[in-house]
């Protein structure tokens, strides 16, 4: 009887050790994924869009309903990089500061504050020289250490209003000055 009890206790101890080991692996993966998100933001602040060659999975998919229909689902990392280059061209020197970030399993979620001044064309809208501040909410799904999918949410009408593009001017008129 004592041998059975001792064997049962050893089995329980082994299961606890295995469970802790799995929890440590999950925590390490979550920490690595969070570090990747922080690294992306640090590199973007330097204007380094090449970071996406390292951190995006080849089959990357981005979802964002705040965009025109042709940009709501970007299904390739090269398409995403081209899209982002257009944004950088319209808002050179823009800043996107992570306010907080959370990780669970293969997901990293964060809230950031983005600011910029429109000095270039944005999706066909002429530059206004006006600035914007908005809050982004982003969730990334990681696969094999790379960002495989993202869900992005932001208030596009607020951004367009701050830039003088909303409400839209009558046809033939430039955006209104505020």
Percentage of residues of the chain with pLDDT beyond 90: 62
CATH number of 2-163: 3.10.450.50
Global model pTM greater than 0.75 = yes
Give 110-125 pLDDT, tens digit per residue. 999 999 999 999 989 9
Domain residue limits, the chain: 2-163
Note whether 60 and 151 are within 8 A (CB): no
- Confidence at residue 113, expressed as pLDDT on a 0 to 100 scale: 96
Q: Which long-range contacts (CB under 8 A, 24 or more apart) does 20-29 make?
A: 26/105, 29/105, 29/106, 29/142
Q: Give pLDDT tens digits for 87-100.
A: 999 999 999 999 99
């Amino acid at each position: 009887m004592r041998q059975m009890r001792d064997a049962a206790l050893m089995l329980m101890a082994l299961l606890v050790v295995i469970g802790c080991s799995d929890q440590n692996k999950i925590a390490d993966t979550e920490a690595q994924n969070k570090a990747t998100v922080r690294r992306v933001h640090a590199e973007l602040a330097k204007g380094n869009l090449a970071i996406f060659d390292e951190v995006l999975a080849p089959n990357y998919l981005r979802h964002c309903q705040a965009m025109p229909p042709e940009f709501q689902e970007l299904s390739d990392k090269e398409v995403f990089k081209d899209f982002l280059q257009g944004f950088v061209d319209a808002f050179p020197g823009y800043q996107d500061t992570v306010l907080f970030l959370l990780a669970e399993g293969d997901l990293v979620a964060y809230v950031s504050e983005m600011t910029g001044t429109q000095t270039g064309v944005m999706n066909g809208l002429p530059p206004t020289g006006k600035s914007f501040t908005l809050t982004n909410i982003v969730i990334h799904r990681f696969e094999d250490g790379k960002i495989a999918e993202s869900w992005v949410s932001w208030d596009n009408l607020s951004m367009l209003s701050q830039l003088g593009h909303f409400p839209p001017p009558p046809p033939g008129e430039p955006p209104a000055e505020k």
